Chains A and B, each alone.
Chain A
């Protein structure tokens, strides 16, 4: 068997990981503790069964994956570079004492294999060689095109892995209450954000107004959360939320690498900045040069006019 892919759940990121893994060598096998029938496009799905997998249990998942790897001896083990994909593969790497390359954008198998992986949340790339008897890597989300899902489920091989007591300790005991309310930053189609230039927590009033008119979410820079003006859940960036809206309206955001690592997924970026030399202009699609305290209310007013126009046709 050539390449084994850990599938956390079906979806676009899984299809990207499958496409990447195919480039490392076929046949492609998948490992999952979730619904095995939902995994398509592979030669075989290995499904670990047992009570341990009723809720997310990363130590047990990793132990099961190691058991499968030792039985099947794939030359490469791949997962999507999501929080859980990275966690499970790091546990496999720790158990097997193999090197792991996280968040790769390219790889060529061989001895040693070569990888290109992201650093600084994608602001920098590293070319590296990886010396191990088996290649372990995770795939940077949205770096490769997903392969189309087929509707033919693959044959499923079920197995009940041998788990030690210590593998059962790290398991989700409960789902604590959500703070859901308004539009989630990660899923929003429009995000309007502001930096320290808002001037105060109250300064976000005009940002909230514009986001509200567009049915979007409010974001902010790290400086704003550090000042205690907005909760960390609003922070866009390498150590905040990674967003992928249709349009990102960044007001008074200079464009530090820490921030830009969080909004690379935006389809379009509109910068409102008083400084025509601000680094964000090198990543933005559109820009308005001016004081956000004047520009943002003017955009809101114009939007209201336009919305009124469509509400009262004729």
Chain B
């Protein structure tokens, strides 16, 4: 079988977000980069499916040249090869991103056959648009289930589980299909050193699509005003316990 997983390079934000002077992006001078935890689980699941069923897992990203780092990370986890839609670093909106991914999928499938499953994170860690996977599915004419914490093959179908209050709702999608997943789907492995070295030699197919005019046009980013809150220090060490209990009683929970 063939499985595709799509990821997005995002900064590791830490405790406090600082913006660039033009307020167009997060200042990343002192930050590392990663992908969304949802996507990390998507990569792990794609790799497990190919380990169990044989075939090929491919990782795709749309992002700046530096996003090759995230493709290599995914290949260190076990993805076989990568597709890099290289941008100049400007952000693409969800519609443009989906459009470029659809074209890349079509062209890869023309050469290599259909992807039985395409994985997305349910939403990206940074812009959180909740739509790229769904747009790609509709453009390809494939069924899509979202927000999944379970994906299993059952005959020619994917059994998809969505956590809801009181249990798990089960969808059964005929393949080929698109799924968007959540962290908690699995516990991703840590890459071994040999796997990291192997990943350096795996193929990356790079191309540079043209960015269309965004229809959701970002003007600027704003760090929300913190409430100007200053925590009331109840004390230091175990001696603070009576003050804590008093607060809990005042709130009405103790």
Residue positions of A touching B, CB distance < 8 A: 55-56, 58-59, 83, 86-87, 90-91, 93-95, 97-103, 112, 114, 116, 118-132, 138, 166, 169-180, 184, 186, 189-190, 213-216, 222, 225-226, 228, 232-233, 235, 238-240, 246-247, 254-258, 267-268, 270-271, 278-279, 281-291, 294-295, 297-299, 301-303, 306-307
Contact = CB atoms under 8 A, between A and B. Distances in A.
B249 A90 contact: no
B194 interface: no
Given A91-B138, A127-B219, A171-B171, A283 B143 contact: no
Given A100-B216, A214-B253, A247-B248, A58 B223 contact: no
A184 B137 CA distance: 33
Given A257-B15, A288-B244, A291-B237, 9 more contacts: A102-B128, A103-B128, A123-B224, A127-B218, A130-B217, A173-B170, A232-B184, A283-B229, A295-B238
Nearest to A116: B222
A90 B164 CA distance: 19
A267 to B, nearest CB: 8
B34 to A, nearest CB: 10
Interface string B173-187: 110000000111001
Contacts of B218: 126-128
Contacts of A284: 229, 231
> Which label, helix, strand, loop or mixed, suits the secondary structure of the B interface?
mixed
Contacts, number: 265
Given A102-B130, A170-B173, A286 B231 contact: yes
13 contacts: A87-B146, A100-B129, A102-B129, A126-B220, A173-B172, A175-B166, A239-B182, A247-B251, A282-B231, A285-B231, A288-B236, A295-B238, A298-B238
Where chain A touches its partner, the secondary structure class is mixed
Interface string B211-247: 0011111111111101001011111111111101101
Contact of A129 (B128, B169, B183, B219): B219
A138 B130 CA distance: 10
B236 to A, nearest CB: 5
Nearest to A186: B165
Contact of B146 (A58, A128, A246): A58
B128 A294 contact: no
Given A99-B93, A169-B143, A177-B167, A302 B183 contact: no
Given A99-B215, A286-B231, A240 B245 contact: no
